[in-house]
A and B are shown apart, each in its own frame.
Chain A
Amino acid sequence: MNTKDNSGDVRLSGISKTYDNGFTAVQPLDLTVPQGSFFALLGASGCGKTTTLRMIAGLEEPSSGTVHLGDQEVTNLPPYKRPVNTVFQSYALFPHLDIFENVAFGLRRRGIKSVKQQVVDMLDLVQLGEQARKKPHQLSGGQQQRVAVARALINHPKVLLLDEPLGALDLKLRRQMQLELKRIQTEVGITFIHVTHDQEEAMTMADTVAVMNAGRVEQLGSPSDLYENPNTTFVANFLGTSNLIEAEVDSKSGDEIILKAGGGKLVLPEARCSAPTTTGGKVLVGVRPEKITLTPADDAGEIPAGRNRITGKIADSSFIGVSTQYVIDSPVCPEFEVYAQNIDRDARLRPGADVVLHWNPAHTFGLDAAQDIDAGVDIEEEAA
């Protein structure tokens, strides 16, 4: 395709939502989701991600700003006039209609008479051809989920909105459906906007993830970008686990920043620091647990030069199959987490042992120290 079709672009400009009771669910926000992409809005419950989705669907009126689909402004169009369909949380299948009629609902409302072939084809696509005459409550959770997807997709929407579509499924089925949805998206090429609180789900499925917190987008990017180079403590803690150390800027050499933490020195590539750095200023230094290597203190001499290092004492270790997770007590950070692959386990790495933690400086990232260091930690995943 040479002429790029942009009718499936979703453009939000300055859109916000403040409820009558004064609660602002979404702060003014600009966002463009390009045609054909799989876009995820990720955040804890109450962060405004579902409200954003509902404003795109037309189910919620924005307090300010506009919504565009391609070149068409849809801000004031009611949901039934928007070429957008939604897969609802817990599916919202019509309990009084059978599966066939559920799927045919949108076509019939648009006055299409011969729906039979389309519905049959769509049910075959989601492998539910046999179940056409059953009522929703007679299907399993995974089957209901597929009906919800079929019911939305049959209308060939420009954009498909998914509101926690997998929240009600058990872990194994969820994994399976993630791949299935990804496959369908690639097949139909429709823009998918997916709302979820499950960071793994967002990273597995989406090409672009927007992490939301308190009504704002904290950071937006590809999953690996967000994980490797978080810009805020919230993103660092919410996506996976991060060890954050408070450090002081000592000096700069070339494109590296030298930091003082505890008694030691740490190196941070300047490009990986999202905070302004002035000598003597504070920075939060982060490193992911799986980037760190543990060496018993006795062997400290064998550690290659040029690596960031910190000393500590193993407080706890738990074996979880593919890896072992250590909690290290260190002067710079009371609960340093380290994940080690179970390849050659060193018998000396036991609770109580003195160790040196070291990692490649290229894996270090720097954050503004003015933020809450624990933002995004311990946000309970809502059990659906």
Chain B
Amino acid sequence: MAAVTEAPPLAPAPEEKPPRKKRGRWTPYWLLLPGILWLIVFFALPMIYQGSTSIQTGSLEDGYKVTWHFATYWDALSEYWPQFLRSVLYAAAATILCLLLGYPLAYLIAFRAGRWRNLIMILVIAPFFTSFLIRTLAWKTILADSGPVVSVLNTLHVLDVTNWLGWTSGDRVLATPLAVVCGLTYNFLPFMILPLYTSLERIDGRLHEAAGDLYAKPFTTFRKVTFPLSMPGVVSGTLLTFIPAAGDYVNAELLGSTDTRMIGNVIQTQFLRILDYPTAAALSFILMAAILAMVTIYIRKSGTEDLV
């Protein structure tokens, strides 16, 4: 029959461990190597090159040398601070608008769409498949000076208000801050809706009933239960909207004017037209540092550090 005894403490385990364990030790490194190398050479290394370029002096003809010329940063900031400020303001406005517009739609898909859920999801994602430049150009038609949007806004005297606020000028929407923010909002809205939907969808529908059962009115339920539970989606949605919006130059170029230039436009011009590489590199470095700093503070404040 079966028998059990406590075995005496064994002498050092016989060295007959199978070789398969040894071979496996290097597997993760082989798997990581090509991809990580790619990211180091084409993502991390360029950052270093860019840092070094930003403190070089010289000219295109004579070549550039690292001279630890940090003054470039100061010059760049003092010359282009309006564009920096504008980038932050436009991106922040677009992010808030995305949140206000995106939340109802994400909520609708998550809780109210029923059998239409999949169809609406497709309609949110499908525009991605048409080049965003083509879609952004379509806003030129929508917001055209003689178009219906402008005439309605004019008739309702909305434009008077926005003119007074400095968002528009004259009888135009195109080539004004409003048009740029509108384009930014439009372009990055899906990046807000998808994370919002993901976190809303995880919420147990019975929580709504429980809140209602505990004397919460619908809006109170939203404020005290739904919204706090969707915070991870709100945080990642705002980040996914704000970061690309702050670095964008396509909307400002296509829908704006010289008065709405954002920092992306400046970097692009410096790099590709003026060929002032140190200034361009310094600007790009400042933008990166600013965004990383803002994102870090934001993540700390919102207390959702594990969202990535």
Contact = CB atoms under 8 A, between A and B. Distances in A.
A28 B4 contact: no
Given A64-B13, A208-B2, A30 B7 contact: yes
B123 interface: no
Interface stretch (A32-40, A90-98, A291-299, A335-343): A32-40
A271 interface: no
A216 B17 CA distance: 24
A34 B3 contact: no
B6 A216 contact: yes
A64 B20 CA distance: 17
Interface residues of A, number: 24
A220 B6 contact: no
A67 B18 CA distance: 14
A210 interface: yes
Given A61-B21, A76-B18, A78-B20, A28 B2 contact: no
Contacts of A39: 2
Interface residues of B, number: 16
A317 interface: no
Identify the interface centre among B4, B6, B18, B21: most chain A CB within 10 Å of its CB: B4
A220 B10 CA distance: 22
Identify the interface centre among A13, A14, A33: most chain B CB within 10 Å of its CB: A14
Nearest to B11: A64
A63 interface: yes
Interface of A is mostly: strand
Interface string A23-34: 000011111111
B16 interface: yes
Contacts of A27: 6
A63 B9 contact: no
Contacts of B8: 14, 28
A37 B3 CA distance: 13
Given A63-B13, A65-B10, A31 B4 contact: yes
B5 interface: yes
A208 B8 CA distance: 24
B1 interface: yes
B10 A34 contact: no
A220 B17 CA distance: 31
Contacts of B7: 13-14, 16, 28-30, 65
Nearest to B9: A28
B4 to A, nearest CB: 5
A28 B6 contact: yes
B78 to A, nearest CB: 56
A37 B13 CA distance: 30
Contacts of A216: 6
Interface string A1-36: 000000000000110100000000001111111100
Interface string B182-207: 00000000000000000000000000
Interface in A47-81: 61, 63-65, 76, 78
Nearest to A13: B7
A221 B6 CA distance: 16
11 contacts: A14-B10, A16-B10, A27-B6, A30-B4, A31-B3, A31-B4, A32-B2, A76-B16, A76-B17, A208-B2, A210-B4
Given A29-B4, A32-B2, 17 more contacts: A14-B8, A16-B10, A28-B9, A30-B5, A30-B6, A32-B3, A34-B1, A37-B2, A61-B17, A63-B13, A65-B10, A76-B17, A76-B18, A78-B18, A208-B1, A220-B2, A220-B4
